[in-house]
């Protein structure tokens, strides 16, 4: 649909629809009975009956629930108001877990640390950016991705940090006049993996069973390997997508920077509507990179399954087999000295016919926020 049709659609009467919203997290002002997001607690951001579609998700940056905050809410004055410092931002970026359940299913279709869901990479260090899908504004996260549901939707936020946190969140939705069987369910999952990158590495990234279409991903990449400065060799891995169990990939991007829309490496930050580098630290160790790509007309359609992996075996070989060029020798030398370690944190977004997803093991809170890569342990 082009922009003219989109604008024209805004002017059409929505027969049978009804708008609504739910507040959460801010147990002051007009809603003192809302449950707080204390350490270890899970709060409900939304619980709607269908058929309907969530259209807007807003989550404010978290404050410490402290005496200073209570004084401020009572009097409007406080010299000890605990605004979030970097340590709290770091804790809440991956210490808060967002989950979404459809149709009373016990297995979530979405499970992701808060910041990574909003493509705020490297433990919440990304600069402010805006896309039609998600955005990070001054002190807030916003998601515009539509989330249709036939019977119900339940959105929760779980606090796995040692902090009692406070924030204002709300979710907007529309009640649909009837369920359309062509509507798919939004899914999102998250991975954190540390591995030793060699010239022979082929790294599986995600396996999605079922039928649907893949609409984007976000990577946070961290390394403490000096050889990988400016993400040399790291960025050269071919990103392969295999559809419905095929042997050869239907999509084969000859470099990770190419998958995300960039050429000749990740040189500087840039935040576009569909692709961006929203954090880059390539001056001192550990080097860190946050990148995103969202798809609409270029979504990857699959009927049975989708598999993606990154393949480094063909890099700097000049098309020869078992050829050890100078760049490959540099990487092997680092590996032989117990170096070459990288951490990939990946977030994946897609729609599919079925609900629920086997997200696998979620690393503990302390591991999720650690990205110093001082050892292989």
Specify the higher pLDDT residue, 77 or 9: 9
Domain boundary among 114, 149, 183: 183
246 in the same domain as 143: no
Q: What confidence tier does 370 reach under pLDDT thresholds 50, 70, 90?
A: confident
201 in the same domain as 129: no
- In angstroms, the first-to-last Cα distance of the chain is 49
Domain boundary among 183, 215, 230: 183
| pLDDT at residue 77, as a whole number | 56
179 in the same domain as 200: no
Interval 357-377 mean pLDDT: 77
Candidates 260, 283, 255, 285; CA nearest to 270 is: 260
174 in the same domain as 199: no
| pLDDT at residue 238, as a whole number | 97
pLDDT tens for 177-226 read 999 999 999 999 999 999 999 999 999 999 999 999 999 999 999 999 99
Q: If you write DSSP's letter for every residue of 334-353 in order, what string do you get?
A: HHHTT--EEEEEEEEEEEES
- Separation between Cα atoms, residue 5 and residue 3, nearest integer Å: 5
Domain count, the chain: 2
| pLDDT at residue 74, as a whole number | 55
Q: Is residue 290 part of a domain?
A: yes
Interval 96-113 mean pLDDT: 97
Q: Is residue 371 part of a domain?
A: yes
Q: Is residue 69 part of a domain?
A: yes
Does the pLDDT value for residue 374 go beyond 50?
no
Interval 124-145 mean pLDDT: 95
- Separation between Cα atoms, residue 39 and residue 160, nearest integer Å: 6
Q: Is residue 1 part of a domain?
A: no
Six-digit token pair at 322?
């078992």
Most confident of 73-77, 138-142, 149-153, 263-267: 149-153
| pLDDT at residue 377, as a whole number | 37
Residue 317 sits in a domain of what CATH number? Answer: 2.60.120.1390
Q: Is residue 268 part of a domain?
A: yes
Interval 232-253 mean pLDDT: 97
292 in the same domain as 324: yes
Six-digit token pair at 109?
């279709």
Does the pLDDT value for residue 229 go beyond 70?
yes
Distances (CA, A) of 199 to 8, 62, 65, 203, 308: 52, 42, 49, 11, 18
Interval 224-243 mean pLDDT: 96
Q: Is residue 369 part of a domain?
A: yes
Runs of H (alpha helix) within the chain: 3-10, 67-75, 86-95, 114-117, 121-124, 256-259, 326-336, 365-368
Q: What are the φ and ψ backbone dihedral angles of 334, each rounded to 5 degrees?
A: -60, -40
Does the pLDDT value for residue 64 go beyond 90?
no
Does the pLDDT value for residue 83 go beyond 60?
no
Domain boundary among 183, 202, 230: 183
Q: If you write DSSP's letter for every residue of 132-165 in order, what string do you get?
A: SSEEEETTEEEE---EEESSEEEEEEEE-SSS-E
Look at residue 171 and give its three-state secondary structure.
Answer: strand
Which residue's entry shows tokens 């060029």?
Answer: 325
Does the pLDDT value for residue 375 go beyond 50?
no
- Separation between Cα atoms, residue 68 and residue 74, nearest integer Å: 10
375 in the same domain as 235: yes
157 in the same domain as 205: no
97 in the same domain as 228: no
Can you give the residue range of the structural domain that contains 22? 17-183
Candidates 280, 345, 374, 371; CA nearest to 115 is: 345
């Amino acid at each position: 649909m082009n922009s003219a049709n989109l604008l024209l659609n805004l002017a059409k009467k929505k027969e049978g629809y009804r708008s609504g919203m739910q507040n959460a997290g801010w147990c002051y002002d007009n809603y003192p009975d809302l449950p707080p997001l204390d350490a270890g607690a899970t709060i409900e951001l939304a619980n709607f009956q269908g058929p309907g579609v969530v259209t807007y998700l807003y989550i404010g940056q978290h404050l410490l629930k402290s005496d200073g905050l209570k004084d401020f809410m009572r009097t409007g004055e406080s010299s000890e108001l605990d605004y979030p410092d970097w340590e709290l931002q770091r804790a809440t970026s991956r210490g808060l877990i967002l989950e979404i359940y459809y149709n009373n299913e016990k297995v979530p279709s979405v499970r992701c640390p808060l910041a990574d869901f909003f493509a705020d990479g490297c433990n919440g260090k990304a600069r402010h950016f805006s896309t039609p899908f998600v955005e990070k504004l001054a002190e807030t996260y916003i998601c515009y991705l539509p989330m249709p549901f036939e019977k119900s939707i339940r959105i929760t936020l779980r606090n796995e940090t040692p902090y009692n946190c406070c924030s204002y969140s709300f979710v907007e939705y529309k009640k649909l006049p009837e369920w359309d069987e062509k509507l798919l369910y939004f899914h999102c999952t998250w991975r954190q993996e540390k591995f030793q990158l060699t010239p022979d590495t082929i790294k599986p990234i995600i396996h999605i069973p079922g039928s649907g279409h893949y609409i984007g991903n976000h990577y946070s990449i961290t390394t403490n390997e000096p050889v990988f400065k400016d993400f040399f060799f790291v960025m050269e891995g071919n990103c392969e997508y295999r559809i419905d169990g095929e042997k050869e990939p239907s999509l084969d991007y000859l470099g990770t920077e190419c998958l995300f829309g960039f050429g000749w490496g990740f040189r500087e930050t840039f935040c576009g509507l569909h692709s961006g580098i929203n954090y880059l630290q390539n001056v001192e160790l550990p080097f860190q990179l946050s990148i995103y790509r969202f798809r609409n007309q270029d979504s990857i359609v699959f009927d049975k399954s989708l598999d993606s992996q990154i393949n480094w075996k063909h890099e700097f070989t000049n098309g020869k087999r078992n050829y050890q060029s100078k760049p490959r020798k540099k990487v092997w030398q680092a590996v032989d000295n117990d170096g070459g370690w990288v951490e990939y944190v990946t977030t994946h977004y897609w729609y599919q016919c079925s609900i629920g997803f086997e997200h696998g093991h979620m690393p503990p809170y302390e591991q999720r926020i650690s990205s110093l890569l001082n050892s292989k342990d």
